[in-house]
A and B are shown apart, each in its own frame.
Chain A
Amino acid sequence: MWKPNSIRQRVMLALLGLLLMASGAAVAWLSWDSTRNGLAQTRLIDTFSAQMPELGIYLAGALALMTIILIFVMMSALPKKPGKRTFIYRSGNGTGVSTVDSRTVSMAAEEAAESTPEVDIADIRINGAAKNPVLYARFTLRADARPIDGIGLVRDVLIPQMEQALGAQFAEKHVNIDFQPKKSGPSARTTLT
């Protein structure tokens, strides 16, 4: 259940593409036009006015900056999971406070779901606030069961039970239904020794 930042990644990819396109096109154009612009027999290295060691310092600085930027881009491209929340409930007269860890509720819901014959794997995350929780869930249903039974179980039983446990209806629900063939259990073969 990983969510990448799609827009940011596409922008970074577009910028990288533009940078490569511009630098490649510029070098290709200068090389193609070298007989007219007088650069034909000039060495590439002589184009830079600075010589070693200053050139090396500038190069090292530029490369270090490029390395840092690339590492930043890669780190920001890694997708993230919705984090767990600790919901704080205050009593009506303000004297009592109780907390509920959303991960506890989601783990209990996962176990309850996986104990049913229709659901093979349940992955649930609850985010948001105590009065407006947000549900992120993925239920993998067994392909040999009736799909509508599994989907109905999720929609009409499991999610309402989670809302009951949290004491609030989900402000947002993001539910993914997956299907996979039933996994075969341990072999029942008998071995004579």
Chain B
Amino acid sequence: MSRFWHVRSARTATLLSTCIVLLGISTTSLVICLIRLDSGSWPSWVTGFLDSAKNIVWANNNLIAVAVGVAILGLLLFIVALVPGKHSTALLEWDSVDEQEEWVADNRGLANLARYEAERTDGVGGASPTLRGKRLHVSVFTPVHETSDISQSVQANVQKKLSAIPLAHSIRVSVKATTRGGQ
């Protein structure tokens, strides 16, 4: 079975943004070339750039700097393409490749659930959860000065809520409470 949801990042944004930049450069250059071939002279808006560019020699530090920059950019793109991205979903316990069933929970949804449960806890003014793999970190802010009880309550509530979901791997919850506002 080929998975549909539980897949790693396809790097679509990186690929499309790189292509858009290169497409802009190639299209502009193509238009300039076609104008030159048609009219016999370069467009007026590039003559200044072309006059300075045509006198560039090979022994030029700026040329080396630009070329090295392009090479580094290419290396970064190559690394981004090879490094596997993160999953944006967590498997549920009913997931089974043998039985052709893919059951997942969206990481963003799990974070929403954690935020909802944390903000329902007494004393919590706001919460910001971050889910990375099997660890969920919840930052809460509270007007209460003594934050240890708040942290424990949020940790217990969120852990209980997530434990009720039949996930294939349990998620460990950590909480950091910060005093904000209040007197």
Contact = CB atoms under 8 A, between A and B. Distances in A.
Interface size range of chain A in the complex: 35 or more
Contacts of B78: 13-14, 17-18, 21
Interface in B71-128: 71-82, 89, 92, 94, 100-106, 108-110, 112-113, 115-117
A40 B3 contact: no
Interface of A: 3-6, 9-14, 16-28, 30-32, 34-35, 39-45, 52-53, 56-57, 59-60, 63-64, 66-67, 70-71, 73-74, 77, 79, 136, 140-141, 143-144, 146-148, 151, 155, 171-181
Contact of A43 (B4, B12, B36, B57): B57
A12 B4 contact: no
Nearest to B99: A173
B51 to A, nearest CB: 11
Interface of B: 1, 3-5, 7-12, 14-16, 18-20, 22-23, 26-27, 29-30, 33-34, 36-37, 53-60, 63-64, 67-82, 89, 92, 94, 100-106, 108-110, 112-113, 115-117, 161, 164-166
Nearest to A40: B59
The secondary structure that dominates the B interface is helix
Contacts of A44: 53-54, 56-58, 63
The secondary structure that dominates the A interface is helix
A179 B112 contact: yes
A80 B45 CA distance: 41
Given A67-B30, A136-B4, A140-B109, A24 B74 contact: yes
A59 B32 CA distance: 10
Contacts of A18: 74, 78
